[in-house]
Amino acid sequence: MADRLPASFRGVPFYVESSGITAGRRTVTHEYPLRDEPYTEDLGRATREYRFYGFVLGDDCIEQAKALRDALEKPGAATLVHPELGEMQAVAQGGASISFDQSLRVVRFSLAFIEAGLNAFPSTGSATQSLSRMSADGLWEATIAEYQGKAHFQSFPDFVAENFSTDLGNALKKISAADISKVLGMSKKIADLVSDGASFLTGGPKAIGQRVLGALGLSQLATTSAGWQRAAKSLTRLTDSLSGDEKEPSYGSPVKAASSEQIEQNRRAVYALCRRGILAQVVGITTLVGTDLDTTVRAPGVLLDEFAGETDAQQEGATTSSIVSSDPVDAPTVSYDDMAEVQSLVVDALEREMLDAESDEVFFALRQAATAVSQDLTQRADLEARLYTYDAGASLPACVISEELYGTALRASEIGIRNSVRHPLFCPNTLKVLNE
């Protein structure tokens, strides 16, 4: 065949008497009791293996054989030229057989190679993130279902409905007053609900529950770049204030036992609706933590000022605008520690809520959400750099430290924000920085 290529590996040529290839699909056959037909699962293309029977000849056949031996023993992938299949990246398998026949000035051998492929691991992020989103939807549905089964006032005296409206208004006011609600645009929608007053009662508990969860939704911001790491932590902390353990109000008239019990049940249902509605949003938000949409540290811009009172620097009256800029950041700045903190905070909140779950559906939804968040953030966090304590030895500008650590001054803002630096020209001697 005139179009055959001269065979070689790592540039060392050899002659080929015959060659072969192993190819096909990777499969697993599943056989089930009381079923005649199996199910064969396709796991993808099998790794290609190439086999050669060849030789080198001439007065220098020993030197040629040594060169081929050295090429086979070098680590890593290299270019293999197959006479029929062309060039490819391959790795030499062990156990190559080489035999010498000096009388004929020939060295014969059998070789085997495996395709090198790419140094890329299967991505688990998208799968685990999808599971978190699904668990958030499941928690949302279980929350509204339990609420609808417990919140009632239409078949009770008027004061039951009045107290229902009061309890709902108090819960919503607590949410609306939180800084995070203002940042995420929930305050306006919640204020509109509260201002409706008696209209809460016209649609019944089901319609009310749907409206409340709609006001707590963040879908309109799903495509907007925001500090999702900070949002997740802030919303999780917000749920701690929604206990529903308030002093029982004076009803102004004797309360029947059934009515009194329903009032308390309504209060618990209302606060549980708000807590779990927010937690469902938090579970969904965790899928954005550490992604390109999470600008908590990567590109803080205007967002830092909007989370008023949430950083030590702000609490001390520092001017954060001096360390925040829109300068580009040339490397990801989310750390393992950042994501692990969110994971711990959210999972703890979900587990605490499990203790108050009165239905199996809500309990299992919370448990599924906690498991999904834990798996997702843990797996994705393992791919990120970790923080360590850096001792600069003196108070230096953030840009100098950034240049020394990362070879660029563009990460000065990251260092300043992560460490709540009051002024970018005077950083503390010790700082938390990414180990990259």
- Confidence band (pLDDT; 50, 70, 90) for 325? very low
Q: Has residue 172 got a pLDDT over 60?
A: yes
> Residue 102: its pLDDT value, please?
76
Ranking 57-66, 267-276, 331-340, 420-429 by mean pLDDT, the lowest is: 331-340
The angle at the Cα of 405, spanning 400 to 407, to the nearest 5 degrees, equals 80
- Return d(Cα 263, Cα 247) in angstroms, integer: 12
Q: Has residue 385 got a pLDDT over 80?
A: no
Residue type present at position 387: L
| Long-range residue pairs from 207-211, CB within 8 A, at least 24 positions apart, any chain | 208/151, 208/168, 209/144, 209/147, 209/148, 209/151, 209/273, 210/144
> Residue 246: its pLDDT value, please?
56
Q: Has residue 95 got a pLDDT over 70?
A: yes
Contact 424, 325 (CB under 8 A): no
- Confidence band (pLDDT; 50, 70, 90) for 358? confident
Q: Percentage of the chain surpassing pLDDT 70?
A: 74
Helix (H) and strand (E) counts in the chain: 14, 12
- Confidence band (pLDDT; 50, 70, 90) for 53? very high
- The 10 Å Cβ neighbour count of residue 165 is 21
When pLDDT is averaged across residues 361-389 and rounded to a whole number, the result is 84
- What does the block give as tokens for 34? 């009381």
> Residue 310: its pLDDT value, please?
42
Q: Has residue 40 got a pLDDT over 60?
A: yes
The angle at the Cα of 120, spanning 114 to 124, to the nearest 5 degrees, equals 130
Q: Has residue 394 got a pLDDT over 70?
A: yes
Question: In the chain, helix, strand, coil percent, each to 5?
Answer: 50, 15, 35
Per-residue burial over 328-338, b if 16 or more Cβ lie within 10 Å, else e, is ebeebbbbbbb
Ranking 108-112, 120-124, 185-189, 310-314 by mean pLDDT, the lowest is: 310-314
Of the chain, the end-to-end C-alpha distance in Å amounts to 53
> Residue 225: its pLDDT value, please?
46
Ranking 23-32, 183-192, 415-424 by mean pLDDT, the lowest is: 183-192
Q: Output the average pLDDT for the chain.
A: 76
Residue-wise DSSP of 228-287:
HHHHHHHHHHHGGG----PPPPP-SS---HHHHHHHHHHHHHHHHHHHHHHHHHHHHHHT
- The whole model's pTM is what? 0.56
- The 10 Å Cβ neighbour count of residue 314 is 17
Higher pLDDT, 406 or 275: 275
> Residue 30: its pLDDT value, please?
84
Q: Which domains does the chain have, with CATH numbers?
A: 8-115 (2.40.30.200), 125-290+334-384 (no CATH), 299-332+386-436 (no CATH)
- Return d(Cα 398, Cα 34) in angstroms, integer: 70
- Decide: helix, strand or coil at residue 220: helix
- Return d(Cα 279, Cα 368) in angstroms, integer: 13
Q: Has residue 363 got a pLDDT over 90?
A: yes
> Residue 347: its pLDDT value, please?
92
Most confidently predicted of 185-199, 248-262, 300-314: 185-199
> Residue 110: its pLDDT value, please?
92
Q: pLDDT tens digits, residue range 118-170?
A: 654 454 556 778 888 888 888 888 888 888 877 766 666 667 777 777 777 78
| DSSP H or E segment with residue 114 | strand 106-115
Helix boundaries (H) for 390-434: 398-406, 412-418
> Residue 154: its pLDDT value, please?
66
| DSSP H or E segment with residue 175 | helix 158-177
> Residue 119: its pLDDT value, please?
55
> Residue 290: its pLDDT value, please?
77
- Confidence band (pLDDT; 50, 70, 90) for 212? confident
Higher pLDDT, 147 or 106: 106
> Residue 313: its pLDDT value, please?
36
> Residue 261: its pLDDT value, please?
77
Q: Has residue 330 got a pLDDT over 60?
A: no
